[in-house]
Amino acid sequence: MTFFHDAIGLEEVTREGGTVYLRAADEFEHHSLTLTETDSAGVDHIGWQTRKPEQVAEYADLLTDHGVDITWVDDGEELGQGDAIRFQTENGHQFEIYYEMEKPDPPEERRSRLKNRVYTPTKTNPIAPQHIDHVQIWEPDIVELSEWLQDVLGLEVIEYYNLEDGSRWGTWLSASGFKIDVAVIHDDAETATFNHTAYTVDNSNDLFDAYDAMKEREIPVDGLGQHSISRGKFCYARDPLTGHRIEFSDSGYFVLDPDWEPIAWNETDLEDRQWMGGFDGLETVDY
Ligand SMILES: [Fe+2]
């Protein structure tokens, strides 16, 4: 909580049974991140919300048809969330699909008077990211996983990056039309791992404020700059206790074209994957 609440600026919604439920300042949904006390750090699952209530059961049938074992999670088992299914991908990414999520009001003294904003801004935290932006996952078979995410879950490839030898280094996919919902990056390890969760900030100056706030707290920062891929501007911070990494993310672009052609990058196109600055965050956490 020192990292996720005090430093990053996520709001605590509630806590129950050793789990703390957190959300960002502009999120109406019950939570976008939960922390559960365990002996070692890891990721339990990544949740995806469907567009319609009936699609949770439809995905359950579809995944079963594709030979994926699914487990139903009953309404309320994860606080604030309706019936959901959990399953794992071929190499071990743990996914959940849900539709219903409560939208609780913050405590009255923190409720914004603007009805389209959730929390009133606080001066105690200079950053207060707005909402979850994307996740980055690592994986040995990224071509297969990317195709699976397209064919089965219905995501769209926005950009991809090939190394000079023609092998795929990364694929950036979206379900929402925003630049990325998930980045899938190649890793030689045999099992899937998790690199970071990104939260959107209001403007690029917030990235400098985030960097400044992390330095004041002696929290490791993995870089500040702008990616070439996605054009997202970034600042990465890592929890010294658990190794979990949070990206503060700004900019990028929307893909509204139904006939979008994925942007193909080759390692030789630019001298560096980062357009400005650098990112040095090679540690991941296991599921
Ligand atoms: Fe990212």
Alpha carbon dihedral 162, 140, 70, 175, in 10-degree steps, equals: -20
Task: For the chain, list the domains and their CATH numbers.
Answer: 2-282 (3.10.180.10)
Identify the pLDDT of residue 186: 97
Q: Give CA–CA dist 237/3, Å, rounded.
A: 9
Q: How far is the CA of 113 from the centre of ligand 1 (A)?
A: 32
Say if residue 22 is exposed, middle or buried (CB neighbours under 10 Å; 0-12, 13-18, 19+). Answer: buried
Q: Give CA–CA dist 153/48, Å, rounded.
A: 10
Q: How far is the CA of 83 from the centre of ligand 1 (A)?
A: 29
Q: How far is the CA of 226 from the centre of ligand 1 (A)?
A: 11
pLDDT tens, residue by residue, 85-106: 999 999 999 999 999 999 999 9
Check whether 125 has a pLDDT greater than 80: no
Q: How far is the CA of 165 from the centre of ligand 1 (A)?
A: 24
pLDDT tens, residue by residue, 254-268: 998 989 999 999 999
Identify the pLDDT of residue 83: 98
Q: How far is the CA of 72 from the centre of ligand 1 (A)?
A: 30
Check whether 131 has a pLDDT greater than 80: yes
Q: How far is the CA of 134 from the centre of ligand 1 (A)?
A: 7
Q: How far is the CA of 2 from the centre of ligand 1 (A)?
A: 22
pLDDT tens, residue by residue, 162-196: 999 999 999 999 998 777 899 999 999 999 999 99
Q: How far is the CA of 194 from the centre of ligand 1 (A)?
A: 11
Q: Which of 92, 180, 181 is nearest to 139 (CA)?
A: 92
Say if residue 282 is exposed, middle or buried (CB neighbours under 10 Å; 0-12, 13-18, 19+). Answer: exposed
Q: How far is the CA of 218 from the centre of ligand 1 (A)?
A: 22
Full 3-state SS string of 152-168: CCCCEEEEEEECCCCCE
Check whether 160 has a pLDDT greater than 90: yes
Q: How far is the CA of 133 from the centre of ligand 1 (A)?
A: 8
